[in-house]
Amino acid sequence: MVRLNSNSSNDSTSAASSWDRLVAEVARAPEIAPSQLEPGQLAGEYRIVSNLGRGTFGAVYRAVQPVIGKEVAVKVLNARFTQSADVVQRFAEEARAVNRIRHPNIVDVFAFGELPNGQKYYVMELLAGRTLALHLAERGALPVHEALDILRAIASALEAAHAQRILHRDLKPSNVFLVSDKQPAEGVKLLDFGVAKSLEGDSGLTTEVGVLIGTPAYMSPEQCTGGSVDQRSDIYALGVTAYELLTGSRPFPGPLSHQYLAQHLFEIAKSPSSLRPELPPSVDAALAVLLHKQPEQRPASAVLAIEMLERALAPGAAVAPAPRRGLRWLALPLLAAVLAMVMVWRFRAAPAAPQAKPVGVAVAVTPAPERPTIAEPTGPERIAPAVSSTPLRARSAAPKLAPAASVSSELSFEAKGSPRAASTGSATPRSDLEY
């Protein structure tokens, strides 16, 4: 997850956001040795069995209810944050958000409490299996039917969260858990609502505009700019996840955070069918809609997004044109403009065709009171078009010219006797321009 503040002089006097304070609390919190809960220790009514994992904000333990034997997972907040109101409030908000949604494809949280030393914890269902990220690392691109089963379950979980006006904001394969020995309808679980956002605005936790929340490889363009987000931001992340399930790779390579942000904003992903030829071109168009740079061009809900993808993957699916996204649509006009500039420059830079020098020969023509009519000859005496370099001889009925000097060979006559300058030495039109 990345949280980056956009620097602006206009915001220099504004109050720090809750995330700013949270990050500051993390930096200032004293380094306390991890308060490892020992086997047999109680967290409320649950007895700790073993440690399952540890992160920056806390640890997860396997525990059991000693009376009925129900196994659970207990997430305990790190002791160094027990005095941070912001961290504690976000920890509680994660549990509250999950409990509000209550969906079979979202991990269930059913208890919240405090240890004797002040550490907060919540109790959730214990899952046996592995994350979707580990599954992809081992398998690569998934079979189409398996990918669709997983995506349907994720979309169903997102739809339930959005119905409660809750955005996940950090959807990615490592936050999706595949439960062993269960079908996807029940065995796919969406995890980690730690950066979830309530659109109701009643949680008391706000994210300042310009603060980036999420994982760079899966963030929507509007998340990358720190702008306002709605459910279509989660749908973009769903599109990135679908792309990865079907091709075995992410749509944008990164690998650095700032590179991911630029790629989400300005670059176009390779067509999935170019990475996996057995995918129909209709899938390219469907994923292009899910990954559209403009939120209003994406499907309005996660279920609609998956239904569109299912139609694209159906046998004989019609190929819909992929929408123009990002800045790619500017390429053709820019190329045309550059070519036009090159053509103008080449024509201006081309040397002028050599002009014929004046001969300086005076030609005297005997005036005639009226133009005689020349009979149209037939047969071998037919006059050829005026393309010869020598004057034509008129028939006896035509008036004769009385030249004062020999006539230049650059003077010719039309078939009906009108003089015309021959085009000698004219340059051949240029045809060496390259496009």
For the annotated catalytic residues, the residue numbers are 170
SS3 413: strand
DSSP letters, 75-103, are EEE-GGGTT-HHHHHHHHHHHHHHHHH--
Structure tokens at 71: 């196994």
Contacts of 240 (CB under 8 A, 6+ apart): 172, 217, 218, 250, 251, 291
* Distance between CA atoms of residues 132 and 152, nearest Å: 14
Pairing of strands 188-190, 197-198: unpaired
* Distance between CA atoms of residues 419 and 435, nearest Å: 42
Cis peptide before 255 (omega within 30 of 0): yes
Q: Residues 382-402, buried b or exposed e (16+ Cβ, 10 A)? A: ebeebeeeebeeeeeebeeee
* Distance between CA atoms of residues 47 and 99, nearest Å: 22
Q: Identify the DSSP state of 216.
A: G
| Residue 116, beta-bridge partner list | none
Q: Are 189 and 179 in contact (CB under 8 A)?
A: yes
Structure tokens at 290: 């899910």
Structure tokens at 413: 């006559």
Of 208, 217, 206, the closest CA to residue 252 belongs to 217
Q: Identify the DSSP state of 383.
A: P
Of 147, 140, 101, the closest CA to residue 124 belongs to 101
Amino acid at 75: K
Pairing of strands 71-77, 120-125: antiparallel
